[in-house]
Chains A and B, each alone.
Chain A
Amino acid sequence: MKDLQVKQIVYTEEAIRRRTEELGKQITADYEGKELILIGVLKGSLYFFSDLTRAIDLPIGVDLISIGNIPDTTSQTGIVRIMKDLDLTITGKHVLLIEDILRTGLTTAYLLQSLATRKPADIRVCTLLYNPDRLLINVPIAYYGFEVNRNWLVGYGMDVDEKWRNLPYIAELNR
């Protein structure tokens, strides 16, 4: 791709496909007979969410959520708020929050707290990538694709300055 300065491909298209299928099978077995809703966190989880939901052999519900930072004139920091809320009701249902990558876990913690107020049966997290050394908050990670310890990853939903999300593989950039 033009202008793309890849240091190395970290996970190939094939490796991601295989791992996603494994996760799909595991989730299918764990949630059989339960009412499950998968919630994808935009935009990063876009492709993982799309492939994972199709790898699950259950009549699941799917929905998307996104959060953003709203500037606030009364503070330096602004406020984190849900920008695109769920369309489905999750009360009494099992919820799996789908993330592309867990870094500090602050965003996921915010979403978990917010979704918990809607009283689902339970909420767990499935992330394609996570870095256990950088995770600041104990979020309930039920499933993960790969452990990573690299910076500047792009592709398969992940971006740098909104670029390279549409790469079919995950790459580390030269920075």
Chain B
Amino acid sequence: MSIITISRQVGSLGDEVAEALSSKLDWELITRNQLIDRFFADKANDKQKHLLNESAKFYLSEIEGYGTYKDLLEQSLYNLAGNSSAILVGFGSQVIFAGNPDAVHVRIIAPEKTRITRIRKKYSVSETEAGQILAMADTKHKRFVSTVFGEDITNSSLYHITLNTSKLGVDECTAAIIALQREHELRCRLLKENEKMDTLDHQTDLPVFKNPSEAEFARILDMYQIAWKYEPKTFPVEWDAEGNITLAFSPDFYLTQFDTYLELTTMNQKYVTEKNRKLKKVRELYPGTNIRIVYKKDFISLIERFKMTYTGDGESCT
């Protein structure tokens, strides 16, 4: 299942972003406050729970038969992530799930001045007191991750993205993280499929269409708000005796939400025959792959419906 971890500075609105994400995605939100009761309820007495709240070092203490509290925390979170998608806030979750390809790690920050202003308003304290609260909390967060996991919380390589809430509102941050998570999930899915099916991954960052009809078809998909990737994958369909690929098929479009590959055939009949042959091979060699051909008459009828300019040149068979 998918995981978003949020590491946040105090006063950065990271908690608010996490709550908004949980609400929009309908994913469970796990914070440090719930952690101890949830995962250590029957493994720690009141004194131990207090220590878990206050002392990072205590996470390295042994629990009989379970390893350390850190081990138990990690195992509990792995179990949780195996069953449902979740948003994890704090407690070194970005380190625990650092090796999980399905996880997206987010750091939320704001300049000290902005955070002090927010803390002053929230707790009705003086600027000096707000500064002290901030310094203590930052130190505590940093010490926890450093002591328990040996990592520096400010190390930017731990995160996929860092968002600054002095320049972005909660809504903008939430929208950015959701968009990132969706793209990341798709990329992970395609990568896993490529590994499993032995197909070739060549997702391009910017589509460079080979002919105008592809560009026009992309515009039609955009009109319908149907998400697409251009030639994200190549399916090898024939090999020589030494196992070298001699024939491959790269469908023009992949419709991400409908798990469907589309190939345009808008011009030459000889290409249609060749494409149909390749398509048949893909279906045989990669069962379960949804792949379809967009025939000329359908393409023209879509173009006519929207009165677009169709020049109809430059088709090739790939």
Contacts and interface: CB of A to CB of B under 8 A. Distances in A.
B223 A136 contact: no
Interface string A106-135: 110110011000000000000000000011
B226 A110 contact: yes
B262 interface: yes
A76 B222 CA distance: 12
Interface string A127-155: 00000001111110000000000010000
A137 B258 contact: yes
B257 interface: yes
Interface string B264-279: 0000000000000000
Given A109-B226, A113-B226, A136 B298 contact: yes
A77 B307 CA distance: 8
A76 B220 CA distance: 10
A91 interface: no
B306 A77 contact: yes
A80 interface: yes
A77 B224 CA distance: 10
B261 to A, nearest CB: 10
Given A113-B257, A136-B292, A103 B298 contact: yes
Given A76-B308, A104-B302, A134-B295, A113 B225 contact: yes
Contact of B220 (A77, A134, A139): A77
A106 B301 CA distance: 12
A69 B257 contact: no
B309 A76 contact: yes
Given A77-B219, A138-B258, A110 B225 contact: yes
Contacts of B294: 104, 136
Given A77-B219, A77-B308, A136-B294, A107 B224 contact: yes
A59 interface: no
A115 B309 CA distance: 31
Contact of A136 (B225, B262, B297, B308): B262
Chain A interface helix/strand/loop/mixed: loop
A151 B301 CA distance: 11
A75 interface: yes
A75 B67 CA distance: 61
B260 interface: yes
B33 interface: no
Contacts of B258: 109, 137-139
A79 B222 CA distance: 8
Contact of B306 (A78, A113, A136): A78
Contact of B223 (A69, A104, A137): A69
Nearest to B293: A136
Given A110-B224, A136-B260, A138-B260, A75 B255 contact: no
A113 B220 CA distance: 16
B104 to A, nearest CB: 21
Contacts of A103: 298, 301
Nearest to A139: B258
A80 B309 contact: no
B219 A75 contact: yes
B290 interface: yes
B240 interface: no
Contacts of B257: 113
Contacts of B221: 106
A80 B223 contact: yes
Contacts of B225: 80, 110, 113-114
A113 B306 CA distance: 21
A75 B302 CA distance: 16
A119 B302 CA distance: 30
A151 B259 CA distance: 27
**Most interface-central of B224, B301, B305 (chain A CB within 10 A):** B224
A136 B262 CA distance: 7
Interface in A44-88: 69, 75-80
B204 to A, nearest CB: 22
Contacts of B262: 136
17 contacts: A69-B305, A77-B220, A80-B224, A104-B298, A109-B224, A110-B225, A110-B226, A113-B257, A114-B225, A134-B298, A136-B262, A137-B226, A137-B260, A138-B258, A138-B259, A138-B290, A151-B297
